[in-house]
Structure 1
Amino acid sequence: MAVSRKNQLNPQKASFLKDAFLSSPLHALFRSAKTPVYAIGVSGGADSAMLLVYAAHIASLYNIKIHAVHVHHGLQAIADEWVRHTRQLAQMLGVECSIEYVQVASTSGLGIEASARNARYRAYEDFAERTGIRHFLLAHHLYDQTETVLLRLLRGAGVQGMAAMAGHSQRGELHFYRPWLDVSRQNILEAEKQFFLETGWQAVHDPTNADSRYTRAAVREMLVPVLDERWHGWRGNLARHSRLMAENTLLLKDLAQIDYATLDASADNTRFSLQKWRELPMHRQANVLRYWLDLQHIPMPSEARLNEWMRQFRQLHQLGHDRNLKLKHARHEINVIKGWVSIRCVAENET
């Protein structure tokens, strides 16, 4: 549906569009754009709202269209008000806006934050299937990145986990861009303040962001203030650490590809030789197993679970090749039969 341009802003008079830290990454992205239209995930909060404001203006300079996507999780009593608020902003900017309604699984065992995130990405997939738009902008910034690194450190994440969020990532056919990962949230809040003064539109505030019952909010409200007081440069240090871990992740992937090429894997990557895997140095066996699982687009097992799998892989067939092995993980089944390790997706009625 076409968007009315009656209430559109005049960028020439908008002082809230003058922050080079916010605009430069978007100029760089759109200058080498991979698509004529980008979707932007918009919650109605300050971060995503300002990304929509900046992207709508800058994209127009490159003849690129912007489409706002708001996911209604139904978790807050004021969720319907967020929908109205987001639509109002989109109309003000002259961009199309879609509302995606989802149900967040409360019994998945993942926790409400992870379940909501998974539901949001499924909503993006549904939107992409319906519209053909497969390139999304997300408003994660430097503070989000450093909080993610902290959380993963506390959970004992490995090299890939400590790389945290990437500036560009892919899930299936969908591409996600985070142009503001190196931008301080203070820049965003200052732009939002100026936007409110000039337009009267004010971002919504999610009460869960300050509710310490939620893990990320607990880090933000209880741990971050102490770090801010004692270690003033900690955000920059963690961001640099994340970039180093991202580089190391690429090196590990390169090594895994070299090792995987020796495993006589099937063309569809669902099977490889157990004997060839055993011939690898032990410290490289786990790395190539993680690479193989990543090819299947399934979650990584815990370190303890992966170590147990490898122990069984190494011991299997010691009493003869008539011994088989079956493992289950994330709705998949891994089988070892006659010297071959294979994986298949398990249907719901099989679980």
Structure 2
Amino acid sequence: MMQPPTQDDIVRAHRMIAPFIVRTPALRSPILDEETGATVFIKAEPLQRTGSFKLRGATHALLRLPEAARARGVVTYSSGNHGQAIACAAATLGMRATVVMPSDAPAIKRDSTARWGAEIITYDRRKEDRAAIGRVIAERTGAALIPPYDHADVIAGQGTLAVELVEDARAAGCELDMVLVCTGGGGLTAGCALALQLLSPETRLIAVEPEGWNDTGRSLHAGRRVANDGTGSPLCDALLAMEPGELTFAINRPRLAGAVAVSDQAVLAAIGFAVRTLKIVVEPGGAVALAALHAGLLPVAGLTVGIVLSGGNVDPAVLARALDC
């Protein structure tokens, strides 16, 4: 297992990637505040380049590669958002990129990844091992393999989101009591956990997952990594990791204050709320933290709460379904 990033690594990552990413706003919603009884800061990563937070970790990981490694290109595996991010960061740095994507990935994610110039190789997520495919390509081509979450430089880059969220809350005269973060393999969660431990150690961090894919919550309860059975709903395609990452769980286990799981119906309702009330488009996996808050799954009255909208690359049919709810 790689060594985890340090908190100083996240601070350095924030400076390093600043010229390449958007510092997304922390939105406010009087309606959401009134509904929950909390003061809510909404980190709007759908407004990031490529439409998700993943650009942070991808950019940091590629910037950290030596020049000789950059010349050999990069390979990754991703359900979409990390693949797009690697493709974008590679194009910015003049690198070749290969992305192993599930054959059922939303077209909006596949098309965006291709638009950045990456080569796409598809696989069957039910039958094939994407990590093994990525390793074979990396060994054959000499490309650097940058996985979507279990990588120290990726985790450090993702943690820059929490740095900005803490800073923006403080600029408004608030200290965050709780942060809700969308959790799949756990890279964003781990980066946020390290950043909050450094900058706002009293803030409680809660992992939010889709029902049926709540491996982090069950792993916290078991005290060890527990895998999903893969039979859950595919709605939140960005969060369908089979189990927490080895590195990410080692970081998250002692730092998370808890985890909650949300239903598909709650996710669709959150997407509709985001469009109608916040005027922002969110994909299902990116909406789970808002869903937990909107559905009242946590006692937050009187608290200052940060929530992450982690991505906005939603399939049009899913968006239409959400707006019909």
TM-score in terms of structure 2 length: 0.30
TM-score in terms of structure 1 length: 0.28
Rg: which structure is higher?
1
